[in-house]
Amino acid sequence: MDDARAAWPGFRLVVARRAERQQVATVLAMTDIVVRAGAEGDAAVILGLWDEAIAWLVARGQPEQWGTEPASARAKTRETVQQWVRGSGVRVAEDGGRPVGVSVIVPSPPDHVPAIARSETYLLFLVSSRACAGQGIGSALVRRAAADARNAGSDVLRVDCWAGAPALIAWYTRQGFVPSDTYTVHDGWRGQVFEMDL
């Protein structure tokens, strides 16, 4: 490299900007997430990602979201997942063909969530691989859920999470949800409900 060119501030700026563009392109390539409809064969994918998330939460001292036992070890949970994959609401996020996230949408909320007098779609389940955290997987699944809800003619998309997780509540808010209601189930577990106008 010519010393005079290297000493020129404008040249250094061009090089820096070129490096920045290359870095951005690399990040975009790493986050090329495709969301597809689920199939009956995706039960193992759902349970695997769920087990991974539970282990991650337990390691962080946050078992309140889903407990401490792996989802795949619970007979009732395995049956629930089978019901999901036999329906039409499962969505699978893939990165290069590899499953990295899953969501489930349904036309009405679970029994423990307060009902509303609006047409809605409920985001019943959302999980992404912790090994791929920060790559926009959850956001892509939320966007797909919102698009599916609009296509179904819903006025609002709702979701809930454990009310004792400030970081998770903040994440849902960043996705465009607004806190709207709370509930408490029989064992004292508190849930925070969110809604997104469509």
- The rounded distance, in Å, linking the Cα atoms of 71 and 46 is 9
Judge if 25 and 77 occupy the same domain. no
Judge if 50 and 144 occupy the same domain. yes
Judge if 105 and 177 occupy the same domain. yes
pLDDT at residue 64, as a whole number: 86
Judge if 67 and 13 occupy the same domain. no
- Model confidence pLDDT, tens digit, residues 22-63: 433 333 334 589 999 999 999 999 999 999 999 999 999 988
Looking at per-residue pLDDT, the higher value among 151 and 9 belongs to 151
Residues 164, 184: contact at Cβ < 8 Å?
A: no
Looking at per-residue pLDDT, the higher value among 26 and 13 belongs to 13
- The rounded distance, in Å, linking the Cα atoms of 76 and 81 is 9
Residue range of the domain that includes 25: 1-29
Judge if 69 and 98 occupy the same domain. yes
Judge if 47 and 12 occupy the same domain. no
Residue 193: strand pairing partners: 160, 181
What CATH number is associated with residue 56?
3.40.630.30
Judge if 4 and 80 occupy the same domain. no
Judge if 24 and 115 occupy the same domain. no
What is the tally of structural domains in the chain?
2
- Model confidence pLDDT, tens digit, residues 72-89: 999 999 999 999 999 999
Q: In the chain, where does DSSP find H-type helix?
A: 3-7, 9-30, 43-59, 75-86, 137-151, 166-174
pLDDT at residue 186, as a whole number: 80
- Model confidence pLDDT, tens digit, residues 131-172: 898 899 999 999 999 999 999 999 999 999 999 999 999 999
